[in-house]
């Protein structure tokens, strides 16, 4: 069951993408709560060359670091706005593999809000989403 703080974070991610949605350009919004309690949002930056696109979670992490320094990630969530011809409303989505690595790099104890097969979203740790994390050297 999601806490009030988790619901607040989902609402912040929705508020980030809803007014900025552009079909095929900005479809994902993210919100994270830092360990010092701030909520920071971001939207994805798409590009004609896909490999230079930047995910919403990375934008939110970058904003948090830029604004006041790295204070860790308590909880993070991403939501996706449906395309004009898709049914449904803005909904929680799982972070991609690259974002899972990035979230883990910045806070190995981060909580992540993820979809749960049509039910209310669920909260897991980043370690549950990324078992056997890549580490440099012997670590």
- Per-residue 3-state assignment (H helix, E strand, C coil) for 96-119: CHHHHHHHHHHCCCCEEEEEECCE
Catalytic residue among 27, 57, 67, 101: 57
CA 5 to centroid of chain Cα atoms: 15
Is residue 21 within 8 A of residue 8, CB to CB? The reply is no
Whether 57 is a known active-site residue: answer yes
> Where do we find the tokens 């004009």?
84
- Rounded to 5 degrees, φ, ψ at 29 are -120, 150
- The catalytic residue positions are 57
């Amino acid at each position: 069951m999601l806490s009030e703080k988790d619901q607040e974070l989902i609402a912040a991610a929705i508020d980030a993408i809803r007014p900025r949605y552009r079909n095929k350009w900005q479809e994902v919004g993210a919100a994270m709560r830092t360990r010092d309690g701030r909520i920071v949002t971001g939207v994805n930056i798409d590009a004609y060359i896909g490999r230079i696109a930047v995910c919403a979670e990375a934008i939110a992490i970058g904003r948090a670091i830029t604004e006041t320094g790295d204070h860790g990630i308590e909880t993070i969530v991403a939501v996706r706005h449906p395309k004009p011809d898709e049914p449904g409303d803005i909904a929680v989505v799982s972070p991609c593999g690259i974002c899972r690595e990035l979230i883990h790099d910045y806070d190995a104890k981060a909580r992540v809000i993820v979809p749960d097969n049509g039910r209310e979203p669920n909260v897991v740790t980043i370690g549950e989403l990324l078992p056997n994390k890549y580490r440099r050297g012997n670590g």
